[in-house]
Amino acid sequence: MKRLRRIILNALTVLSLLLCVATAMLWVWSYSAERWILRADRGYAQLICLLDGRMLVETSPWPNEGRFLQIVLHSAGRNVNRPWLYHQGNAKFFSALGFTLERGTVFNSNYVPHGYAIVVVPLWFIMLCEAVLPGLWMTRWRRAHRRMGLGRCPVCSYDLRATPNRCPECGTIPAEARA
């Protein structure tokens, strides 16, 4: 059971590290041009946009009832054009450290009110969250290898200079003694 838990933790650490590297690449990529994915279904649209080191996620009304998916990997303009929306001034708005949360009411072209929500998260925060697990793994790995290099037990850190074949404290056989 302990081995299975270690395998799962190592797999999650590798996945987290890969996501961290991918987010770093997206972070750099977001400064060159605007990239976005727009998906519409049942009268609402979901927009995911990368711009200037931030990821914007928006849910807003869509003028058509049909389904729609558009992926733009290189936009010449810097703003997503949504001409069917006319924002009303009663939006609830929060912004700090690059994070933004906005909720409010918009009117479509027929002046029918609909709710919308916008969440903006800086990519550095996403990358920092993804780097926690690899950082903990690296700290644990470094600590264990430093103990082995100092002639200590990798499990309990007991000094093994007097008994190099087996730890008298916990009974662990060091890797050097197995070989």
Residues 73-118 pLDDT 10s? 655 554 444 433 444 445 556 677 888 888 877 666 667 677 778 8
Residue percentage of the chain with pLDDT more than 70: 76
User: What b/e readout covers 107-140, taking b as 16+ CB neighbours within 10 angstroms?
Assistant: ebeeeeeeebebebbbbeebbeebbebbeebeee
How do the domains of the chain map onto residue ranges? 13-127, 133-178
Mean pLDDT, residues 38-67 taken together: 80
Other Cβ atoms within 10 Å of 11 Cβ, number: 10
Q: How confident is the model at residue 18 (pLDDT cuts 50, 70, 90)?
A: very high
Instruction: Map tokens 């997503």 to a residue.
Output: 80
